Amino acid sequence: MTEPATDEAWRPTLVLASASPRRLALLEQAGIRPDALLPADIDETARRGERPRDYARRVAKEKARVASEVARSRPDPEQIITLAADTVVSVGRRILPKPELLDDAAACLRLLSGRTHHVHTAVCIVGPGGAARERVVESKVRLKNLSRGELESYLGSGEWRGKAGGYAIQGLAGTFVVKLVGSYTNVVGLPLYETVNLLAGAGYPVRFTWIEAA
């Protein structure tokens, strides 16, 4: 993976098409600081019969397209890179929601209790000139059998709200994880290895801030 010389003068503007604090924190973990946040307001309803992997890819691409169009209406659109992602938790072909209601979160956790599920995150990057690059990453996660007390306590924490599948592996629910096969950052919401490579391929100097940080 090669990168141009790290010169602030030419560094493209990086737009993150998300309001997710988790994705922002993961990018910052990799030393990448978005210049702007442009959450894309799109219809995220799954289509009839749509597979989880295909759903994640479609939604991420749509988020990237919408945010890119907004970003490119600004001055110097050729120097903009837009990054979007979507994370899906599924059991078989069933796509679980990002619950906002307690009953929905409880239903998700009861379904996931004691079994293995899949987490797909699609990452889409629109680079200078409008070319799009994408990757879909899959991880497998097994949760323990949740007792009634564990379920009620976790629901009472409110941590589940708005999280794919009704849990956050980087939080309290990490204590429920028996086994994870694949990328941990994928389950959190943004697979860093794949994201960094996509950004570098689009011409973004992903290691620009590393020397400063050291």
Catalytic sites, residue numbers: 86
Q: Report which secondary-structure segment, H or E, holds 199.
A: helix 192-201
User: If we measure between CA atoms, which residue out of 158, 162, 167 comes closest to residue 117?
Assistant: 167
C-beta pairs of 98-102 under 8 Å, 24+ apart in sequence: 98/162, 98/163, 98/164, 98/165, 98/166, 99/160, 99/161, 99/162, 99/163, 99/166, 100/161, 100/162, 102/155
Phi-psi label, residue 108: left if phi above 0, alpha if psi -120 to 50, beta otherwise = alpha
* Contact by Cβ (8 Å): 159, 109: no
Q: Report which secondary-structure segment, H or E, holds 110.
A: helix 102-112
